[in-house]
Structure 1
Amino acid sequence: MSLKGDVCVVTGACGFLGNRLVKLLLDEEKLAEIRLLDKNMQPQLLQSLEDCRGDTKLSVYEGEIRDGDFVRRACRGASIVFHMASIIDVNEAVEHSEIYGVNVKGTQLLLEACLQENVVSFIYTSSIEVMGPNPRGEPIVNGTEDTVYDSTLKFTYSKTKREAEERSLQAHGEVLQNGGRLATCALRPMYIYGEGCRFLLGHMGDGIRNGDVLLRMSRPEALVNPVYVGNVAAAHLQAARSLKNPQKRNVIGGKFYFITDDTPPVSYSDFNHVVMSPLGFSIREKLPLPLSLLHVVCFLLETLCLMLRPFVRIVPPLNRQLLTMLNTPFSFSSEKAQRDLGYVPRYSWEEAKRRTVEWLASKLPAERERIRYK
């Protein structure tokens, strides 16, 4: 079902995924208006969107998602909200109050604004990390939405994303001001890669500093299934179309869906090598220390940083939960999203890899120069 004539809000519109979704909406839908909500708008991004907007009105809402009046204004007259804005933090570098304020309270304010302003559809961008892995590193291979797993979480990021997802799904069916009802769903993409991925740039920078040898922090057997950003954007569009369809609305409303594509299962470290080997990077064969010893080192670093916390805040480069995440087989299937949402990946693995490698190649000279003079 088409979104023609709809007014939609995209939170985190200038982010990695948000930007890709906005461009997809402009390419494929004749929307009346797209409202770009972000804390920091980027003039070059806005100009690139203006060049391809056609008859769709683009409106800029620059401000804080924790500002209730602001998000209510952004939602006034809208019919769909794509909620992508969040703080991503796997190093525990962000204060709990900050990440909770954005990820949980910001989501709650947005849901309340939807009820007050009669927004009928709400799609929440969740994360695979709301599932785990748990601190024991128990694996999941080709899991589904029905997989039973002890998803005890340690990351503040993971816990806040899970609470925000729960609040989003619980809001399904709540009564709007005009007597209608809100429909919600959540998408759980795997690790998202592609053009604009800051994590890939960070790993490339580490490789450059190490003489074009990528660091290995994942065992080869710790298979995960990364997903290309263009396919994740397509899944969001398909979710919005499905929520607009009266026959599908109650089928998918209040549910979450894993989003994957045909990117081959691979460990996090080996994935970095796959997309950077064409640029001349190799990778270490083994972890810097046995995994059990790395856990001990992380424990000691965490303990030291905790003791110093009253005097100075130091964030260790690696912690036990991140180490567990990087070394736990954790893969899922998107069959349910394909069945219920009609989600079909737009980009094959070969196309996604080609686009990602070309983007990294375009960034490599500047990255070398930056590191050389840092």
Structure 2
Amino acid sequence: MARKESAAVPVKDSKVMVIGGASLVGSATVEELLSRGATQVVIYDNLSFDGEANIAHLKGDPRVKVVQGDILKLHQLLAATEGLDGIVHLAAFMTLNFDRDPWGGIDVNIRGLQNVLEACRANRVKKLVFASSNAVYGYGHGVKGDLVEDTPFHAAGAPPAAILYGASKIMGEQLCRDAHRKHGQDYVVLRYSTVYGERQHYRAANALYIVETHDAIKRGERPKVIGDGSETKHFVYVGDLARANCMALEAPATDVAVNTSGPAPVTTLELVTLVAELTGRPDLKAELVQPDPTKVRLTSGGAFTIVHKAAKDAIGWEPQVDMREGLRRLLAWRDASLTNAG
């Protein structure tokens, strides 16, 4: 992986846009940028999926500017990206959305990114951070062992929506490389593992293990585990990803793609058992059930670890929040949200 050591964009006193800034990762990234002294943070979002609620606490900050826009409309992006130092691009269809609307996902994830890159070129934005995914390694029984940046894509046995999502991220990474090769556009690709944390939603297939388990336990029901409970998931806390986004801007590295994963993987049985324990109901033992063929569920087919050593080398990042602490924060936020709603 080639790197040019001259692409640092210090966050302090800079102007940065977060595309998809009203999302789970986006809202946390805006908070992190502000804490690091950004002069202005532009939230560019179409404000769907409860986006307004995610950023309500940020709107009183004079450094925050909210632009309701669509990445498929280049003229909107061109106007919104004038005078920026950097962009963190998070907006995308995820697997469950791809399952419902594959053509929409292709448009947003591929054409949308191409529009972002064109806006960067036209307005001389110094650096782009692109949120990719460990989905670039694929799914199914070929995904096992250590997943590193040159691990090939595996598609056998995975549902179409999962393959379409992973392929869209592969294409997105290559569009970034192409822009760097042709126009000198500096960028860093971060391959997120499954994100969880405060302001968690129901649209990420793997994160459903957390929120659906919590919901079931709050109803006094036994949590369900699909399969035998041995399938591996590798989660990363949302605050750690917010740091990674900022560190990718500030690092001198460019033209590089790195994994950003949590400290350690967890099996689905370990995960639901931990949620039950943290919810105060360890007596509600997990019930093993067979997969529902009508629902998209991402399974690894074996134990794997998403190695994040290259992120330490390239941008100085490594995760800080382990699964127990991250889950404790998430569940406390969900409990507080339910209390406030009531």
Tell me how far apart the structure 1 counterparts of residues 323 and 269 of structure 2 sit (CA, whole Å).
Answer: 18
Shift of 1:142: 2.6
Name the larger-Rg structure.
Answer: 1
Match of 2:222 in 1: 213
Residue by residue, what CA displacement relative to the aligned partner does 1:33-59 show, whole Å, maximum 9, x if unpaired? 1111000175555442245x4xx6222
2:66 maps to which of 60, 65, 76:
60
The amino acid of 1:35's aligned partner reads V
Deviation at 1:201, TM superposition (A): 2.9
Counterpart secondary structure, 1:66: coil
1:1-374, aligned counterparts within 5 Å?
A: 2-28=10-36, 30-40=37-47, 42-51=51-60, 53=61, 57-90=63-96, 92-134=98-140, 137-148=141-152, 150=154, 154=160, 155=162, 156-175=164-183, 181-198=184-201, 199=208, 200-206=210-216, 211-242=220-251, 248-249=252-253, 253-262=254-263, 264-279=264-279, 280=281, 282-286=284-288, 288-289=289-290, 298=293, 316=294, 318-319=295-296, 322=297, 325=299, 327-363=301-337
CA distance in 1, matches of 2:65, 2:273: 40
| Partner residue, 2:5 | none
Shift of 1:240: 0.5
Percent identity reads 21
Q: Which has the higher contact order (CA 8 A, sep 6+)?
A: 2
Contact 2:15 2:83 in 1 (8 A): yes
Deviations 1:97-143 (A, max 9, x none): 21111111111111111111111201100111121114xx1232232
- Residues 6 and 365 (structure 1), Cα distance of their counterparts in 2 relative to 1, 3 Å cut: closer
Aligned residues: 319
**SS of match in other structure, 2:66:** strand
Query: Using the alignment, how far apart are the partners of 1:326 and 1:139 within structure 2?
Result: 6
Distance in 1 (CA, whole Å) between partners of 2:120 and 2:269 is: 40
8 Å Cα contact 2:272/2:286 also seen in 1:
no
Work out whether residues 80 and 240 of structure 1, in 8 Å CA contact, stay in contact via their aligned partners in 2. yes
CA deviation map 1:213-252 (0-9, x unaligned): 111114332223211111111111111101xxxxx33xxx
Task: Verify the 8 A CA contact 1:173 1:183 in the aligned structure 2.
Answer: no
Q: Structure 1's 146 and 162: CA in aligned 2 closer, same or farther, altered over 3 A?
A: closer
Distance change (3 Å), C-alpha of 1:76 and 1:44:
same
TM-aligned CA distance change 1:269 to 1:111, over 3 Å: farther
AA paired with 1:201?
Answer: V
SS of equivalent residue, structure 1 residue 40: coil
- Verify the 8 A CA contact 2:27 2:55 in the aligned structure 1: no
CA contact (8 A) 2:54 2:199 kept: no
TM-score by length of 2: 0.83
Q: Distance in 2 between matches of 1:45 and 1:197?
A: 10
Secondary structure of 2:226's match? coil
> 1-side partners of 2:275 and 2:146: how far apart?
23
